[in-house]
């Protein structure tokens, strides 16, 4: 009796878990219920990676990245804050900014005193400025420590929220359609009935209904350009839904006084082997702003969503002016993310594993 090859066994296991809702549900519940924050974040990241591969297999690798492909890198970046690995830099930046503010306040205060008292000695001026800078730096240090601790808790909560909501829907989508060879709109309608109607702000999931309608189009379409546009549109809808839900977490994680400084100086992230900064325009890769099939968008709903007056009014021809100045502002955040998703939709780095085999 011939033994099956190792590759055949792996293929069989992959086909089994791909459509096994209970497998994904158990994995997702385990990741979000893990009490140790750093481990929970790692489990969330790895589960997104598994779902990314499974959904890519169902849609076809040629359709490009999916929401979970991107969520891998968002979750991996969240782990830096959850583990507070960015605390030292936060302290330095907070101390510098607050120190400058303190110095300016001391100088302005000195000018007011000088006008009232008709003259202040240089020694008094110097002492006042030094005190302002010192007090400002101390306040910046305290603010950085407190904000990073608070951010760690909030970002972990958001990290879990994203996986639970979209991950479970993706698992249901895989269970229903991954092994369904032909398009059946009745099956799609039955699937969508289990997604809550209503606006995201009110607890609804209309954006996710549209997300999985687009993934269904990417799964069963025959034209590659249309399928890639559908997958890209799905990614934008899903990430927009989640960022509406995450807005309170993101706004509370950054004190108002340091938001622009953090956005400009600290918000870098990796996607595979590539590094980006949200305070800079999304870069063109290999001299091309967008991949071939997304260079000129033809999906009318997608064009209205991105560029229409009731949408984001984004430029569809350029990556200029995509940099964010304040990451807590959802319009700035989404304009950057939508451009990034489009520019790198077929970039292999997006699909890489988030960790080396032996560790993060």
For 208-217, the pLDDT digits (tens) are 999 999 999 9
Which range has the worst mean pLDDT, 55-69, 72-86, 191-205, 332-346? Answer: 72-86
Q: What does residue 356 show for φ and ψ, rounded to 5 degrees?
A: -70, 160
**Is pLDDT of 282 > 90?**
yes
Cβ atoms 279, 267 nearer than 8 A? yes
pLDDT at 274 (0 to 100): 93
Cα–Cα–Cα angle for 216, 217, 220, nearest 5°?
A: 85
Query: Which residue intervals of the chain are DSSP H helices?
Result: 6-18, 21-33, 37-59, 67-82, 87-117, 122-162, 168-177, 185-192, 206-220, 224-253, 259-265, 300-307, 330-343
How many other C-beta atoms are found inside a 10 Å radius of the C-beta of residue 282? 23
Burial of 356 (0-12, 13-18, 19+ CB in 10 A): exposed
Tell which residue, 141, 354, 130, 166, has the closest CA to residue 246: 166
pLDDT for 250? 85
| Sequence-separated (6 or more) residues with CB below 8 Å from residue 257 | 97, 98, 101, 143
Residues comprising the chain, all counted: 360
* pLDDT of 8 above 60: no
The predicted structure's pLDDT at residue 75: 93
**pLDDT above 70 coverage of the chain, percent:** 76
Cα–Cα distance measured from residue 341 to residue 346, given in angstroms and rounded to the nearest whole number? 9
Q: Residue 132's pLDDT is what?
A: 47
Residue 91: is its pLDDT beyond 90? no
Q: Distance between CA atoms of 203 and 197, rounded to whole angstroms?
A: 9
Residue 255 scores a pLDDT above 80: no
Nearest-CA neighbor of 84 among 141, 35, 152, 140?
152
Contact between residue 186 and residue 223 where contact means Cβ atoms under 8 Å apart: no
Is the pLDDT at 142 greater than 50? The verdict is: no
Q: Quick check: 245 pLDDT over 60? A: yes
- Give the pLDDT confidence score for residue 79 in this predicted structure: 83
Asked which of 121-130, 301-310, 316-325 is least confident by mean pLDDT, the reply is 121-130
pLDDT at 115: 47
Is residue 249 within 8 A of residue 158, CB to CB? The reply is: yes
pLDDT in the model for residue 87 = 42
DSSP state of 359: B
CA angle, 321 then 63 then 244, to 5°: 50
* Own/partner pairs, 353-356, CB within 8 angstroms, 24+ separation: 353/49, 354/45, 354/46, 354/49, 354/72, 354/73, 354/75, 354/76, 355/42, 355/45, 355/46, 355/76
Total-model pTM:
0.81
Neighbour-count burial of 64, counting CB atoms closer than 10 A to its CB (0-12 exposed, 13-18 middle, 19+ buried): buried
| Distance from chain centroid for Cα 260 | 18
What distance in Å separates the CA atoms of residue 224 and residue 207, rounded to the nearest whole number?
23
Q: Where are the beta strands (DSSP E) in 290-334?
A: none
Distance of CA 248 to the CA centre of its chain: 15
The pLDDT of residue 7 is 44
Closest-CA residue to 67 (of 53, 81, 46): 53
Per-residue confidence (pLDDT) for residue 5, from 0 to 100: 44
More confident residue, 138 or 287: 287
CB 264, CB 281: distance < 8 Å: no
* Average pLDDT value over all residues in the chain: 82
């Amino acid at each position: 009796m011939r033994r099956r090859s190792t590759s055949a066994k792996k293929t069989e296991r992959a086909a089994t878990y791909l459509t096994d809702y209970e497998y994904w549900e158990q994995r997702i519940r385990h990741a979000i219920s893990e009490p140790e924050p750093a481990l929970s974040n790692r489990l969330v990241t790895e589960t997104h990676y598994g779902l990314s591969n499974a959904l890519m297999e169902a849609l076809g690798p040629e359709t490009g990245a999916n929401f979970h492909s991107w969520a891998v890198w968002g979750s991996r970046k969240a782990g830096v804050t959850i583990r507070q690995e960015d605390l030292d830099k936060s302290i330095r930046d907070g101390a510098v900014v607050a120190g400058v503010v303190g110095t300016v306040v001391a100088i302005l205060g000195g000018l007011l005193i000088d006008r009232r008292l008709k003259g202040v000695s240089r020694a008094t001026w110097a002492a006042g400025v030094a005190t302002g800078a010192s007090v400002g730096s101390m306040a910046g240090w305290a603010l950085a420590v407190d904000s990073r601790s608070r951010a760690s808790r909030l970002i972990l909560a958001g990290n879990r929220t994203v996986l639970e909501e979209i991950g479970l829907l993706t698992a249901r989508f895989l269970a229903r359609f991954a092994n369904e060879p032909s398009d059946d709109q009745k099956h799609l309608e039955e699937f969508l009935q289990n997604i809550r109607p209503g606006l995201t702000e009110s607890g609804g999931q209309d954006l996710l209904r549209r997300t999985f309608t687009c993934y269904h189009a990417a799964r069963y379409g025959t034209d590659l350009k249309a399928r890639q546009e559908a997958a890209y549109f799905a990614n934008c809808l899903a990430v927009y839904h989640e960022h509406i839900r995450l807005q309170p977490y993101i706004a509370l994680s950054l004190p108002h006084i340091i938001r622009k400084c953090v956005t400009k100086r600290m918000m870098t992230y990796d996607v595979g082997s590539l590094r980006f900064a949200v305070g800079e325009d999304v870069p063109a890769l290999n001299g091309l702003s967008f991949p071939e099939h997304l260079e000129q968008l033809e999906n009318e709903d997608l064009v209205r969503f991105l560029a229409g007056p009731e949408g984001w009014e984004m430029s569809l021809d350029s990556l200029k002016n995509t940099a964010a100045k304040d990451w807590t502002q959802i319009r700035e955040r989404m304009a950057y993310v939508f451009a990034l998703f489009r520019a790198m939709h077929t970039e292999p780095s997006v699909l890489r594993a988030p960790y080396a085999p032996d560790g993060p």
